Amino acid sequence: MSAPTIVEVQGRKLKLTNLDKVLYPATGFTKGQVVDYYVRIAPYLVPHLFFEKNAPMHRPDWVKTAPIWSESNHRTIHFILANDLPTLVWIANLASIELHPSLSLAADIATPSMIVFDLDPGPPANIVQCAQVGIWVRDIFDHFGLQSFPKTSGSKGLQIYVPLNTKTSYEQTKSFAHAVARLLEHEHPDLVVSDMKKAVRTNKVFVDWSQNDEHKTTISVYSLRAREHPTVSTPVTWDEIEQALKKKDAERLVFEAKDVLARVEKMGDLFERVQKLKQKLPQLAGLVGESDTQKEADEGISIAAQAEVRPRPEKDKKTAKGKAATAKRRKL
């Protein structure tokens, strides 16, 4: 192993160790390259990080933390506020490859700033099938006049984010996400499941609504994944999603570190608006706090019934026929 390297990052001194250690044996991608990637992607990544995992005791005194009460652990946990470049480099030096922030800001942990759908394919389904389900998720929120933003998980699937940045609660977002998942399962039973049991997910896409929880985290946009190759959870355009589906080409939605650095140079941060766009989650009658099983069965249908059809931008008119058919099935 190489000798430690002392660097100064924005006035903070850091000792970087084992930079030549290979973290991705299939490609030879080293810890040093992981650190380099995070340094270069930091201007795009840091605004999305909020806070993430429990801070170790040996952290530098300048690493900021947020005390968050954990019901499951029955104690206060100090979470890292990964909101500057020195902290990000320090985390990368710990060989913490993956970054998993909360859906909340540390200042208001009980209020999610977005709603997220994690589309997880059960083999032999892959990200192409996720692309189709992602488009259906987009269509539902289009009907409400809400914008949604896709990104790859960097692993097998796709994730759809609906920014809110307005007052809401996890009870509302989780219930809403569950209802959307059940609606999709009702309309597309051959491809979609809302039940997380592995046994029912073969060759189907699990719409994971349960990530909308105060006690859960989701892989960050621009985070590396601990896979065979240094793949990255990458924001993509809806046009890229549609093209991957049309061509049935999963490789169109696989991006490694070098690809992502080139993309942000050319395209900027496709997820920038997720942090700024203010949208209100529709308040559907009977949706939140409902426990009656018969009414639960109707929640997904109520989403479609109360939605307002809105035209998509000019560039998306090529998908209008598919949307019209979907709207007709939902009796809008």
- What angle do the packed helices 320-329 and 127-143 form, to 10 degrees? 70
Determine the residue type at 279.
Q
Domain map of the chain by residue range? 5-97, 114-329
Q: Among 1-15, 21-35, 163-177, 183-197, where is mean pLDDT lowest? A: 1-15
Whether pLDDT at 287 is above 80? no
Nearest-CA neighbor of 146 among 118, 117, 184? 117
Mean pLDDT of 202-222: 95
Q: pLDDT class for 2, splitting at 50, 70, 90?
A: confident
| SS3 assignment, position 104 | strand
Q: Among 24-38, 58-72, 245-259, 283-297, where is mean pLDDT lowest? A: 283-297
Determine the residue type at 29.
F
Nearest-CA neighbor of 322 among 190, 158, 121, 188? 188
**More confident: 44 or 307:** 44
Q: What is the mean pLDDT of the chain?
A: 87
Q: What was the pLDDT predicted at 242?
A: 98
- Domain 114-329 sits in CATH at 3.30.70.3300
pLDDT in tens, 163-179: 999 999 999 999 999 99
Nearest-CA neighbor of 193 among 217, 211, 209? 209
Q: What was the pLDDT predicted at 238?
A: 98
